[in-house]
Structure 1
Amino acid sequence: MKFCNKDAEKVVNNEDCDLKGWGYRHQQCLILFFCLTTGYSMRACMGYPRFKWNKKTQDTILASFFWGYMMLQVPAGQLAHRWGARRLLAGALFANALVSFCLPWAAYYGGWIWVLIFRMTQGLSQACIVPGMHTFLGKWTPLRERSRLSAWAYGGQALGPVVGLPVTGFIASSPLGWPGVFRFYGVLAALVGALIWYMTADTPAKHPKITLAEKMYIENDIGPTDDSRKPKTVPWRSILTHRGMLAIIIAHIGQTWGQLTLYSEVPAFMDKVMGVNIKANGLLSALPFLVMWFTNFFFSWAADKLIIKKILSVTHTRKLANSVGSILAAVGLVVLAFVPKELVIVESVLVILCGFKVATHVGVYVNHIDISPNFSGTMMSLSNFMSNLCGSLAPIVAGMILTDVTSEFLWRHVFFVAAGMYFFTNLVYIILGTGERADWNDPIQDKAAEIIKECSPMLKTEQKL
């Protein structure tokens, strides 16, 4: 690892510098990637072929995961802030491991009610993952690498389904059967949880092996990371009334609404209108996610370069990235409503749409850390809760519109609503969004600065005397 300055004086003075080569900040984000990939892969475990439960019961079991996921979102941000992200993430993975490993027994001996309870518990524990990751990233990602490191970690959202769907199918068709799927993910979650527990640290200051150069490189941007300088009280009023936070919440709602439309309604459209069960075709299902994972690296690199080269400010970079993802996703949905109903054409539109949509990962999704590294986990828990709460209305609205599920005309209305949500929420983000650090991010330092400022005239008088 090569440090760009020949001496530490420039680092102390916070001059522009770079730290070349692999560092512990990269290792931490790689482990976060494994964590998120495991979490999203586990969501593919949904089959109980032995049990002849009716459609209503199956839908209730599937929904129970999200009941738990929604319930603990905001508290999870507080747990990460007070206990540290390492404990929270490791605990979430260990809980997932136990629940997943024991779930087949719950199905055999407790029926669908116990399965519902177990899936809800799984949702409760997975609610801790995203706020915990954002808290982690707020302590480990300097601005000049923030887009790349964050996108690297959150790439698990795209790669998780790509890995999960074929793995689930392969194990289910093996002698292990469907219980083997849950047992496999139980063991995997436990291993990743152990990896988090033994190989991560809440902050650079707590990492036993990090070099002084890398620690200073990170802290020069985000500030001291030791617990003694950490704000203990969350400034709720300041967060909730900050215009950047309001912009993030609105934009996050649009992203979740569009995402649920893409992942839930588009496959239903292809099934009912085109007669193609895309979910039964592993390649067709995985291809858009796989393209998202690859384009994710390009957009994160481009965003960091725009900031490093001072071509655009942080604020304008986040707005540009979010606009690329949102507007092109909106256009893609409109195009999808009118293109010929041929599988190759529709799948191509989906691949292009998803490939550009991932640009929002270096837009609104990383913006919390720009505004407040210290409270990024709390901010993410708030926006994730609100987005899932409002976004969950997307299937309900689609159901109200689709009085005839085979009508192309009615499906166009569903796509128009999602496109409108993408466009409108992004417009609000452009108007209100900001990438500037909030003055309430580090109240302890602010208070110290005020005391020094007040005392400086007295010090000057004493020097003259």
Structure 2
Amino acid sequence: MRACMGVSLVAMTTSDTTHTTLYNHTNITSDNANKYKVDGVLSALLLSYPYPIFKWNKKTQDAILSSFFWGYVVLQVPAGQLAHRLGARRLLAGALFVNALVSFCLPWAAYYGGWAWVAVFRIKQGLSQACIMPGIHTLLGKWTPLRERSRLTAWVHGGHALGPVLGLPVTGFIASSPLGWPGVFRFYGVLAALVGALIWYLTADTPAKHPYITYGEKLYIENDIGDDSQKPKTVPWRKILSHRGMYAIIAAHIAQVWGQIILYGELPYFMDKVMEVNIKANGMLTALPFLVMWFTNFFFSWVADKLIVKKILSVTHTRKLATSVGSLSAAIGLIVLAFVPKKLVIVETVLVVLVGFKVTTHAGVYVNNIDISPNFSGAMMSISNFISNLCASLAPIVTAFILTDVTSEYLWRQVFFVAAGIYFVSNLVYLILGTAERAEWNDLPKKQITINVEECNPMLDTEGK
């Protein structure tokens, strides 16, 4: 749903300057009447071809793309509290239902309200999707025993890699079909509603609340994680923010998000302007790194679990190793990209190797909050996700400041060096401060029971007096 907007804008907009700014029901002229003409109820509801085309300039389109993250960042920290109080099941299902409704209605917002209403709708999607990561980690905190934690968490985070692989070509296919660009948002609206329904009917906040779980499985999970009845009622924000592991996670998370923006947002421009290859126009070139990431994701998470189960490394050292492999491979890969010859095969190979190893962080920093506090892993994720996205939002600004000439290899090297430096520094902070030890504030303190010996003596009298 995040990736579809960029592709959809290609089908929604035109650079034809001979037409007016917006083709909608308030601005139909003889010049554009042949482009779009309201003809009946289906046409007014954008359910039949042809569909309106909008004259939105690059700044307007960038504002629409950015509007999602305005909402996404704002609700990150409150989402952690919501996940703790409402439960992950309600929060995730509710977020998906909101996304479904907003996505389904977005074509009408574009036609009847213009780009401003599209931005408002995308902000709403950002607000609701801010609940996804805290909700997911709250759920993982209740369901993932230590010996399976890396694999289960990586399986979930693997959706980040698989989503673009499936989403980008599906979006393009629907946009070029008779359903047109409105069909893209309706398709994802229906899909979000279906996934929300699955979460609502098939999941539970904890093993104890699941109606179909076996007693043996429930006991297996609770013996490892703890009984949910001892869950603290309020989030200890002060203790979380004073824990050194929280700052280690934040540092590593900032580098991961910054790197993602450079790799997935800026690298295509490097390929286009310097390599003279439009990577976005080649579906295979676009999908291959994500596919490799999806497969290596499971291998590295399996290795991480084995290192813990076989007691080859402690949990803390396993998380540090996984994070270091992902961060340092990404840093080295970016430096290599800055100096490789202008050959597509070489660049694509470096990119595939870089992304394939970078995914090891799914078994490192991304699961670390669950190790520290299963009860408050959602709150910890909301904090790190908020700060990392806020800091990484500077990546496009820094890149634009450096790239005074987008065709200059020298300037692109500086962009890659900055990203590599952030990876190195953040990983060093994580190695120094990182820990996977269970925090003492994760559970309620044990109740101290005071016994009145004189009162109990008559009950303990064995002589029958």
Question: Which category describes the TM-score, using the shorter chain as reference length?
Answer: 0.7 to 0.9
CA contact (8 A) 2:373 2:439 kept: yes
Tell me, what secondary structure is at the counterpart of 2:442?
coil
Partner of 2:83: 80
CA distance in 2, matches of 1:172, 1:56: 22
Alignment of 1:71 onto 2:70 = no
Q: 2:223 aligns with which of 205, 220, 224?
A: 220
The answer on whether the counterparts of 1:100 and 1:185 sit within 8 Å (CA) in structure 2 is: yes
2:130 — aligned with what? 127
Which whole-Å deviations, capped at 9, do the CAs of 1:314-343 have from their partners, x for residues lacking one?
A: 000000000000001100000000000111
Q: Which residue of 1 aligns with 2:350?
A: 349
Q: Give the letter aligned to residue 314 of structure 2.
A: S
- C-alpha change, 1:404 and 1:86, in structure 2 (3 Å) is same
TM-score between both structures, scaled by the size of structure 1: 0.87
Contact 1:40 1:160 (C-alpha < 8 Å) held by counterparts: no
User: 1:84, CA displacement in angstroms?
Assistant: 0.4
What residue is the counterpart of 2:388 in the other structure? 387
C-alpha distance in 2, partners of 1:267/1:396? 17
Q: What is the identity, as a one-letter code, of the residue corresponding to 1:301?
A: W
Structure 2 residue 403 is the aligned partner of structure 1 residue 409? no
Render the CA deviation track for 1:93-135: whole Å, top value 9, x for unaligned.
1111111111111111111111111111111111111110000
> Secondary structure of 1:338's match?
coil
Q: Structure 1 CA distance, aligned partners of 2:219 and 2:451?
A: 28
Q: Which residue of 1 aligns with 2:341?
A: 340
Contact 1:40 1:156 in 2 (8 A): no
Once the two structures are superposed, what CA deviation does each residue of 1:150-172 show, in whole Å capped at 9, x if it has no partner?
10011100000000001001111
> Which structure's residues are more often helix, by fraction?
1
| Distance apart, 1:458 and its partner CA | 7.2
The answer on whether the counterparts of 1:249 and 1:386 sit within 8 Å (CA) in structure 2 is: yes
Aligned with residue 181 of structure 2, among 174, 178, 181? 178
Q: CA deviation at 1:141?
A: 0.3
Structure 2 residue runs without a partner (length 5+): 14-52
Matched residue SS, 2:165: helix
Measure, in 1, the Cα distance between the counterparts of 2:5 and 2:378.
22
User: CA 1:456/1:326 → structure 2, altered by over 3 Å: closer, same or farther?
Assistant: farther
What is the 5 A alignment of 1:272-311?
Answer: 272-311=273-312
In structure 2, the residue matched to 1:3 is none
Distance 2:311 2:65 in 1: 47
Q: Where does the alignment leave 5 or more consecutive residues of structure 1 unmatched?
A: 1-38
Over aligned residues, Cα RMSD in angstroms? 1.8
**Cα distance, 1:456 vs. partner?**
8.7
Displacement of 1:362 after TM fit? 0.7
How far apart, in 2, do the equivalents of 1:58 and 1:281 lie?
22
Alpha-carbon distance in structure 1 between the residues aligned to 2:238 and 2:461: 44
Partner amino acid for 1:348? T
Which is further off, 285-294 or 270-279? 270-279
SS of 2:441's equivalent? coil
Name the residue aligned to 1:10: none
Q: 1:257 & 1:77 partners in 2: Cα distance?
A: 22
2:44 maps to which residue? Answer: none
2:252–2:430 Cα contact (<8 Å) kept? yes
Alignment partner, residue 154 of structure 1: 157
Deviation, 1:45, is: 5.6
Counterparts in 2 of 1:203 and 1:55: CA distance versus 1, 3 Å: same
Residues of 2 paired with 1:45 and 1:173: CA distance? 11
Q: Kindly tell me the number of residue pairs found equivalent between the two proteins.
A: 418
Task: Describe the SS at the equivalent of 2:384.
Answer: helix
1:41 to 1:139, Cα distance in 2 relative to 1, 3 A: farther
Given that residues 275 and 343 in structure 2 are in contact (C-alpha distance below 8 angstroms), is that contact kept between their aligned partners in structure 1?
yes
The residue type equivalent to 2:104 in the other structure is F
Equivalent residues in 2 for 1:6-45 (5 A)? 39=1
Aligned in 2, Cα 1:109/1:224: closer, same or farther, shift over 3 Å?
same
Give the conservation status (yes or no) of the 8 Å contact 2:225–2:374: yes
What is the letter of the counterpart of residue 364 of structure 1? V
How far 1:447 moved relative to its partner? 3.4
- Structure 2 distance, partners of 1:402, 1:389, is 21
* Counterpart amino acid of residue 215 in structure 1: K
> Does the aligned pair in 1 maintain the 2:7–2:172 contact within 8 Å?
no
In the aligned structure 2, how far is the partner of 1:303 from the partner of 1:66? 32
8 Å contact from structure 2 (residues 8, 171) kept in 1: no
Q: Is 1:84–1:202's contact at 8 Å kept on the other side of the alignment?
A: yes
What residue in structure 2 maps to residue 18 of structure 1? none
Q: Which residue of 1 aligns with 2:315?
A: 314
Counterpart selection for 1:53 from 45, 53, 56: 56
**Compared with structure 1, are the counterparts of its residues 40 and 456 closer, same or farther at alpha carbon in structure 2 (3 Å cutoff)?**
farther
Residue identity in the other structure for 1:368: N
How many angstroms apart in 2 are the aligned matches of 1:402 and 1:390?
19
- Which residue identity lines up with residue 221 of structure 1 in the other structure? D
Over residues 260-288 of structure 1, what are the superposed CA-to-partner deviations in whole Å (9 max), with x where a residue is unaligned? 11111111111111111111221111111
What is the DSSP-based 3-state SS (H/G/I as helix, E as strand, rest coil) of the residue aligned with 1:374? coil
Q: Which amino acid aligns with 2:257?
A: T
1:216-249 Cα deviation digits (max 9, x unpaired) = 1000111002xx4221111111100100011101
How far apart are the structure 1 equivalents of 2:138 and 2:233?
A: 14
Judge conservation of contact 2:8–2:181 (CA < 8 Å) in 1: no
2:446 is paired with a residue of what secondary structure?
helix
Name the CA distance, whole Å, in 2 between partners of 1:418 and 1:457: 65
Structure 1 residue 187 displacement after superposition: 0.6
How far off its partner does 1:464 sit? 12
Larger radius of gyration: 2
* Number of the residue aligned with 1:447: 446
2:140 is aligned, of 133, 137, 142, to 137
Question: Partner letter of residue 152 of structure 1?
Answer: W
* % same residue: 77
**In the alignment, is the contact (CA less than 8 A) between 2:8 and 2:172 conserved in 1?**
no
Alignment of 1:104-115 (within 5 A): 104-115=107-118
